[in-house]
Amino acid sequence: MNRFLQAFISLALLLTANGASAAADQPGTYRLRSGDAVLISVWREDALQREVRVLPDGSITFPLAGRVEVNGLNAQEVEQRIAAKLKPYLPDPVVTVVVTGIEGNHVYVLGKVGKPGLMILNGPTTVLQALSMAGGLDKFADEGAIKLVRVEAGKQEILPVRYKDLISGRNMATNIQLRAGDTILVP
């Protein structure tokens, strides 16, 4: 019985450890983009605390670490990269990265809507939600010609939006969840 209990505890610990590492890589983890802001601090190094913005090339610059590529990384991955670059200068640097601005997480709504322009995504957002936040369609909008422009692997994709189907609730297939950089065109 004692061996069984030890085996059970070992298995439980293993599953817990695997679950914790899987949680760090969940798709819901926020990934940095150009325009985002992060607050970086190094434990016991007050001079190494500052807020920096992710540059258009996807990098940041930080004292002693220099240029650090952060585009597409989560906060924990950025902490590890900066700590590795600080290692030659500081013994065991403990780095903390906090996302303070998500301005890089935006979409554009253009055309005949109440408030066209740039929109910051504060969470998962669909086409209908974005159109609603943009003030809805203008009375002259062509409901049958709405499109979503998305860049995928460096190529532009045009995805149709069937607005009448969405509003009637008949077919929600084109109520696409938006990604940073998407553009909704309402002619």
Count structural domains, the chain: 2
* Whole-number percent of the chain with pLDDT over 70: 85
What would the DSSP string read from start to end of the chain?
A: -HHHHHHHHHHHHHHHHHHHHHHHT-TTS----TT-EEEEEETTEEEEEEEEE--TTSEEEETTTEEEE-TT--HHHHHHHHHHHHTTTSSS--EEEEEEE-TTSEEEEEESBSS-EEEE--S--BHHHHHHHTT-B-TT--GGG-EEEEEETTEEEEEE--HHHHHHTS--TT-PBP-TT-EEEE-
129 plus 178 within the same structural domain: yes
- Over residues 34-75, the pLDDT tens digits come to 999 999 999 999 999 999 999 999 999 999 999 999 999 999
Please state whether the predicted TM-score (pTM) of the whole model is above 0.75.
no
Q: What are the pLDDT digits (tens) for 77-99?
A: 999 999 999 999 999 999 999 99
Q: Is residue 17 included in any domain, yes or no?
A: no
Q: Are residues 180 and 112 part of one domain?
A: yes
Residues 75 and 113 in one domain: no
Per the structure, the complete domain to which residue 43 belongs is given by 37-101
